[in-house]
Amino acid sequence: MSILVTENLKKYYGTEPNIVRALDGVSLSVEEGEFVAVVGTSGSGKSTLLNMMGGLDKPTEGEVIIAGKKLSGLNDERLTIFRRRRIGFVFQNYNLVPILNVYENIILPVSLDGERPDEEYIRQIIRLLGIRDKLMDMPNNLSGGQQQRVAIARALAAKPAILLCDEPTGNLDSKTSQDVLGLIRMSSRQFNQTVIMITHNEEIAQTADRIIRIEDGKITESRWGA
Amino acid sequence: MDQRAILFITVSAIVFFGLLGAVSAGIWLHMRRKYISFAEETCRSIDAVLNGRSAEELDMDEDTLLSKVQMKLKRLEEITAAAARKSEAREQEVQEIISDLSHQLKTPVANIIMYCDTAMNPVITEEERAKCMAVLKNQVGKLDFLVQAMIRMSRLEQNIISLHPDTVPLRNLLDRALQSIRGKAAEKKISLEILCDEDVILLCDEKWTAEALFNVLDNAIKYSPFGSRVAVRCERLEIYTKIEIKDEGIGISPEHAADVCKRFFREEKAAKTEGVGIGLYLTREILEKENGYLKISPRERAGTAVSVYLLNAEEFMNASK
């Protein structure tokens, strides 16, 4: 079963003749439990694609369908709730809330949903990501790699079905990148999640199950990776 | 006067309690109705899931209790469905293994039968018979190799041997893996260059991880020319330790980097070298089972670099303290 499908997705900015085609007819489908890397140079439209998939931006044309549900059929409020419950985001610049400590940051999406965090599960994530002794620290006192691990824990906390990662290792050195990548792989496997990761780094893409290459808003290649 | 006052108080008390009773009864009825309708809605949602109409009938994006319950139901449905699909895929896989196996075994068995017949023919010369015997020996060897490989694979596939990750010094792992490879390397005059800080402690299953490393090293030696060099470098990261094995062999074409971990996949250019195509497949299975991972950097004409990532024990121990 495909958990995420895009149908002829288009995103245009501006009007003719100065139109910019950020995405120009992207159709793809991602199977449940897959680890997919989307690669492309900067300006190829890969971040736009991820934003569409996560419902952070609306396409000019085409459709994003997640778990059988069309995102265009949802109003803003519903979309927000859908996102909160279904999708976990990991960004390049971590986006942690600076005035909350590590633990509060991790359980933020769960508490926003008015729910008591599943303590056992959260503890499992924290242990897996190796941030157990950092829980009371403020994000600013952590290294980049540690902050990204907190961001991953936060993305996993609400048990989302899909994890969308936008250059998760973009701000990290090569050593830490390899760590973070392994952790994303490990947690997605343990918690049965689908991962879509954007990167411009070929080395990093090589660890994915499938590599989708995007150039000038179009998919140029889609093949199974290591 | 007194009586009137008493009457008044009594009447108003009756009216008050009567009203209070009515109001509480009203509230009770209202709550009961809400409660029943919530239960009914929940039942209806469960029915929708059971009938496979969850996508159309459940509303999972509202900030209400019902919507939250529906969302959880939907997730439950998805997880159950995923588990069912997984076991189906597993069955399919077993079927494929069986058909792959019989296919792989067919050629050597056919050759053995043929050469046996020839060798038993009384009219051929001794020289011809010796030739046949040599071929037979070679084919039986191939059969043995296949059977050994398959036994290992099937044991791992069926999870009969579950991995038991424990703290293992990198030194032990490398010793185990290198010990069985040194002879082969010496045969081809390949120099092994090892650059590792052996004091690192890893979290893995010693026996199977050594096997995984051996498979990678074995490939490196097998597909490298006479007199070349194989380098093993370890780098300790914060969570993982990377063990990179680099050779100067025939390399992997970038378009096949994806396929080399598949069972029984072999590149055309590898046909000259003996093998069945399960080494890297097994390696990846073993690593995934102990939360490590494998990275292959295809560098055609410049050899191959395979990196094995294993969890550092200390980091994990500290974290789970």
- Each residue of A63-101: pLDDT tens digit? 999 888 888 888 888 888 888 888 889 888 888 999 999
Over residues B106-117, the pLDDT tens digits come to 888 998 998 888
Burial status of residue B155 (CB atoms within 10 A of its CB: 0-12, 13-18, 19 or more): exposed
Alpha-carbon gap: B181 to the closest alpha carbon of chain A (Å): 25
List C-alpha distances in Å: B15 to A142, B1, B5, B18, B29: 68, 21, 15, 5, 20
In the prediction, which pLDDT does A103 show? 92
Q: pLDDT band at B40, cuts 50/70/90? A: very high
Alpha-carbon gap: A126 to the closest alpha carbon of chain B (Å): 8
Mutate to test the interface with B, among A2, A34, A78 (most CBs of B within 10 A): A78
Better-scored residue on pLDDT, B316 or B66: B66
Alpha-carbon gap: A195 to the closest alpha carbon of chain B (Å): 16
In the prediction, which pLDDT does B315 show? 55
B18-42: average pLDDT = 93
Please say if the pLDDT value at position A48 is more than 70: yes
Task: With residue A211 as reference, give the H or E element that holds it.
Answer: strand A210-215
Residue A85 contacts B, CB cutoff 8 Å: yes
Return the minimum-mean-pLDDT range out of A87-91, B23-27, B57-61, B168-172.
Answer: B57-61
Please say if the pLDDT value at position B320 is more than 60: no
Q: Across the interface, which of A74, A175, A224 has its CB nearest the CB of B258? A: A224
For B233-287, give the DSSP string.
EEEE-SSEEEEEEE--SS---GGGTTGGGSTT---GGGTTS---S-HHHHHHHHH
Q: Across the interface, which of B61, B297, B318 has its CB nearest the CB of A81? A: B61
Q: Which residues of B touch A77 (CB under 8 A)?
A: 63
Contacts of B293 (CB under 8 A, 6+ apart): A181, A182, A185, A186, A207, B287, B309
Question: Two tokens at B135?
Answer: 């071929």
Please say if the pLDDT value at position B198 is more than 80: no
Mutate to test the interface with A, among B62, B237, B304 (most CBs of A within 10 A): B237
Q: Which residues of B232-265 are buried (b: 16+ CB within 10 A; e: fewer)?
A: bebbbbbbbbbbbbbbbbbbbeeebbbbbbbbee
Q: What are phi and psi of B10, to 5 degrees?
A: -65, -45
Alpha-carbon span B194 to B36, nearest angstrom? 72
Question: Two tokens at B308?
Answer: 């094995």
Return the minimum-mean-pLDDT range out of B182-186, B239-243, B316-320.
Answer: B316-320
In the prediction, which pLDDT does B29 show? 94
Please say if the pLDDT value at position A165 is more than 50: yes
Alpha-carbon span A160 to A137, nearest angstrom? 25
Alpha-carbon span A10 to A8, nearest angstrom? 6
List C-alpha distances in Å: A112 to A106, A170, B207: 11, 28, 47
Question: Two tokens at A60?
Answer: 């000019």
- CB atoms A206 and B295 under 8 Å: yes
| Residues B272, B284 contacting (CB under 8 angstroms) | no
Q: Which residues of A touch B295 (CB under 8 A)?
A: 203, 206-207, 226
Nearest CA in chain B to A224: B258
Residue A160 backbone class (left: φ over 0; alpha: ψ -120 to 50; beta: rest) = beta
Question: Two tokens at B81?
Answer: 């469905």
| Residues B310, B249 contacting (CB under 8 angstroms) | no
Q: Which residues of B touch A182 (CB under 8 A)?
A: 239-240, 291-293, 309
In the prediction, which pLDDT does A226 show? 40
Q: What are phi and psi of A130, to 5 degrees?
A: 65, 40
Alpha-carbon span A61 to A122, nearest angstrom? 39
| Residues A200, A90 contacting (CB under 8 angstroms) | no
In the prediction, which pLDDT does B13 show? 92
Alpha-carbon span B290 to A168, nearest angstrom? 23
Alpha-carbon span B292 to B240, nearest angstrom? 8
- CB atoms B235 and A175 under 8 Å: yes
Q: Work out the percent of chain B whose per-residue pLDDT is above 90.
A: 15
- For the domain made up of A2-95+160-224, the CATH class stated in words is alpha beta
- CB atoms B295 and A69 under 8 Å: no
Q: pLDDT band at B288, cuts 50/70/90? A: confident
Better-scored residue on pLDDT, A40 or B1: A40
Alpha-carbon gap: A153 to the closest alpha carbon of chain B (Å): 14
Question: Two tokens at B224?
Answer: 């490298």
Mutate to test the interface with B, among A82, A206, A213, A223 (most CBs of B within 10 A): A206
In the prediction, which pLDDT does B317 show? 53
Highest mean predicted confidence (pLDDT) among B17-31, B76-90, B124-138, B278-292:
B17-31
Better-scored residue on pLDDT, B21 or A22: B21
Q: Which residues of B touch A33 (CB under 8 A)?
A: 82
- CB atoms A115 and B68 under 8 Å: yes
In the prediction, which pLDDT does B268 show? 73
In the prediction, which pLDDT does B1 show? 63
Q: Work out the percent of chain A whose per-residue pLDDT is above 90.
A: 15
Q: pLDDT band at A144, cuts 50/70/90? A: confident
Average pLDDT, chain B: 83
- CB atoms B295 and A183 under 8 Å: no
Mutate to test the interface with A, among B238, B283, B296, B321 (most CBs of A within 10 A): B238
In the prediction, which pLDDT does B280 show? 84
- CB atoms A223 and B315 under 8 Å: no
Alpha-carbon span B204 to B309, nearest angstrom? 11
Please say if the pLDDT value at position B52 is more than 90: no
B122-145: average pLDDT = 87
- CB atoms A179 and B238 under 8 Å: yes
ipTM greater than 0.90, yes or no? no
Residue A120 contacts B, CB cutoff 8 Å: no
B92-108: average pLDDT = 80
Better-scored residue on pLDDT, A175 or B307: B307
Q: Among positive and negative, which fits the CA dihedral B249, B253, B257, B261?
A: negative
Question: Two tokens at A64?
Answer: 């994003």
In the prediction, which pLDDT does B272 show? 67
Q: What is the pTM of this model?
A: 0.73
Question: Two tokens at B55?
Answer: 């996508």
Better-scored residue on pLDDT, A146 or B155: A146
Question: Two tokens at B317?
Answer: 């121990």
In the prediction, which pLDDT does B316 show? 53
Please say if the pLDDT value at position B171 is more than 70: yes
In the prediction, which pLDDT does A45 show? 84
Q: pLDDT band at B18, cuts 50/70/90? A: very high
Q: pLDDT band at B243, cuts 50/70/90? A: very high
| Residues A90, A148 contacting (CB under 8 angstroms) | yes
B198-202: average pLDDT = 84
Q: Among positive and negative, which fits the CA dihedral A66, A68, A69, A71?
A: positive
Please say if the pLDDT value at position B101 is more than 80: no
Give B294's strand partners.
B308
Beta strands in chain B (DSSP E): 166-169, 191-195, 201-204, 229-236, 240-246, 293-298, 304-311
Q: pLDDT band at A182, cuts 50/70/90? A: confident
B31-43: average pLDDT = 91
A42-70: average pLDDT = 87
Please say if the pLDDT value at position B208 is more than 70: yes
Question: Two tokens at A32?
Answer: 């449940």
List C-alpha distances in Å: A44 to A22, A23, A199: 7, 8, 11
Written as one letter, the residue type at B163 is L
In the prediction, which pLDDT does B157 show? 67
Highest mean predicted confidence (pLDDT) among A183-197, B4-18, B57-71, B284-298:
B4-18
